[in-house]
């Protein structure tokens, strides 16, 4: 049941965001010579780079990989527990990484637990931290030439839950799971 609720929440946020920015749901006029597989590969590379920037490292698994009419989504869920006290720091690491790459901040949720960025070529990035401290990082591609899309090839950093029910975060980290606030 929790997987369905989490999946539905992530999907609703992603769909609402795509509708609000118009990128993933753009008309076929915006398609380029890139096909959906090539765009999905780039999304995977962005996610690999993003998760590699998190220090100390967290454990993650692939979750959703949803091709649409002319776009693909790539999603990963962090299995490491991100404590309430460290969620802002976790989001800060990703924001600095993405801003350092020149990505544009599009929106931040009112509660500060979701952040959306966009790349000039239309790729959309999102990080969302759920109530249990589970972070979800996703990339939606722009509308491109339709093609088949293979599953991601990156190996998860931890157990692979891509073909089973996603558990609540269950990996302790001396840093990310700590309930001690960081000093300023």
Give pLDDT tens digits for 18-33: 444 444 444 344 445 8
Average pLDDT over residues 151-167: 90
8 has a pLDDT exceeding 90 = no
- Prediction pTM value: 0.81
What is the per-residue DSSP string for the chain?
-HHHHHHHHHHHHHHHHHHHH-STT--GGG--S-BHHHHHHHHHHHHHHHHHT-SS---EEEEEEEE-SS-EEEEEEE-B---GGGHHHHHHHHHHHHHHTTPEEEEE-TTSSEEEEE-TTS-EEEEEE-TTS-EEEEEEPPS-B----PPP-SPPSS---TTSPPPPP-B--TTTT--SPPP-
Residues 83-139 pLDDT 10s? 999 999 999 999 999 999 999 999 999 988 999 999 999 999 999 999 888 999 999
The predicted pLDDT at position 60 comes to 97
The predicted pLDDT at position 68 comes to 82
Looking at 5-14, 56-65, 84-93, 98-107, which range is the least confident one?
A: 5-14
Residue 44 lies in a domain: yes
Residue 145 lies in a domain: no
Q: How confident is the model at residue 162 (pLDDT cuts 50, 70, 90)?
A: confident
Domain count, the chain: 1
Residue 162 lies in a domain: no
Query: Mean pLDDT of all residues in the chain?
Result: 84
Residue 169 lies in a domain: no
Average pLDDT over residues 33-55: 96
Residue 133 lies in a domain: yes
Domain that holds residue 75: 2-23+31-140
Residues 70-92 pLDDT 10s? 999 999 999 999 999 999 999 99
Residue 163 lies in a domain: no
Residue 146 lies in a domain: no
Residue 154 lies in a domain: no
């Amino acid at each position: 049941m929790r997987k369905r609720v989490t999946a539905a929440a992530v999907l609703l946020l992603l769909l609402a965001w795509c509708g609000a920015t118009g990128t993933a749901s753009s008309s076929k006029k915006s398609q380029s010579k890139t096909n959906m597989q090539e765009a999905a590969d780039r999304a995977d590379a962005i996610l690999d780079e993003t998760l590699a920037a998190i220090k100390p490292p967290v454990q993650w698994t692939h979750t959703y990989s949803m091709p649409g009419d002319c776009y693909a989504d790539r999603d990963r869920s962090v299995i490491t527990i991100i404590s309430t006290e460290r969620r802002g720091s976790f989001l800060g690491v990703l924001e600095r990484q993405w801003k350092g790459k020149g990505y544009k901040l599009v929106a931040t949720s009112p509660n500060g637990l979701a952040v959306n960025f966009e790349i000039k070529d239309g790729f959309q990035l999102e990080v969302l931290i759920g109530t249990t401290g589970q972070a979800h990082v996703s990339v939606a591609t722009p509308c491109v030439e339709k093609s088949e899309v293979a599953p991601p090839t990156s190996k998860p950093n931890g157990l692979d839950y891509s073909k089973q029910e996603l558990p609540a975060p269950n990996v302790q980290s001396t840093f990310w799971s700590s309930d001690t606030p960081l000093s300023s």
